[in-house]
Amino acid sequence: MGIINNIEVTLEYPRRILIIGILCTAFFLSITIISNVFPNETVTWKTTTTFIILSLLGVYIIIDCIASKYNVTSNNIRYRNLFFRTYQISWEEIDKVDYSRISNWFILKTRNNKRIRVSLLLKGIGEFKILLSERINETKISKVAKEELIYIFKKA
């Protein structure tokens, strides 16, 4: 620890993720409207509900892209969540680092059981991983998270 100082990285979703959210919302809302304006025998409340739920997933992607932001420095992590609330934790507060292969994100757990999820889709994730491996004691990093860090360093 200690070779990385005075580094500041901003992690945000790439614009293409926002575009996917907009297209998803527009597509499924269009299908919902069209299928109810020009109904046929396959239109039921179940299909309408399914299309509405899928369009809401697109809305979730849009809000997450706009709201989620991480400012990572060599001293702390400041992040804004889905509800636009801003939190700050120091690297010393992190008690465990895990990795979810299904969700494709790092899960940082603090001493007071707060969880921060950092997606691999974020721009600047490479610098974050370097800071993570530099600032967190190796015993606090799970086996799966270590494997992901090693994989990323080999890939770079």
Q: In this structure, are 97 and 140 located in the same domain? A: yes
Residue 41 lies inside a defined structural domain of this protein: yes
79 vs 1, residue with greater confidence: 79
- Region 104-115: what's the mean pLDDT? 92
Residue 49 lies inside a defined structural domain of this protein: yes
pLDDT at 55: 97
Residue 116 lies inside a defined structural domain of this protein: yes
Q: With bands split at pLDDT 50, 70 and 90, how would you rate the model's confidence at 1?
A: very low
Residue 109 lies inside a defined structural domain of this protein: yes
For residue 43, give both structure tokens.
């239109």
pLDDT digits (tens, 9 = 90+) for 18-70: 999 999 999 999 999 999 898 888 888 999 999 999 999 999 999 999 999 99
135 vs 53, residue with greater confidence: 53
Q: What is the dihedral of CA 14, 131, 153, 107, to 10 degrees?
A: -70
> What is the pTM (predicted TM-score) of this model?
0.79
27 vs 133, residue with greater confidence: 27
Q: Which residues of 28-59 are buried (b: 16+ CB within 10 A; e: fewer)?
A: bbebbeebeeeeeeeeeeeebeebeebbeebe
Range of the domain at 119: 89-155
pLDDT at 133: 84
153 vs 118, residue with greater confidence: 118
> Cα dist. 87→40, 90, 144 in Å?
50, 10, 26
pLDDT at 71 over 90: yes
For the chain, what percent of residues have pLDDT higher than 90? 65
Residue 9 lies inside a defined structural domain of this protein: no
Q: In this structure, are 106 and 59 located in the same domain? A: no
pLDDT at 127: 87
Number of domains in the chain: 2
Q: What is the CATH number of the domain that holds 149?
A: 2.40.50
Residue 84 lies inside a defined structural domain of this protein: no
Query: How far is 132 from 43, CA to CA, in rounded Å?
Result: 50
pLDDT at 153 over 70: no
Q: In this structure, are 134 and 99 located in the same domain? A: yes
Find the length of the chain: 156
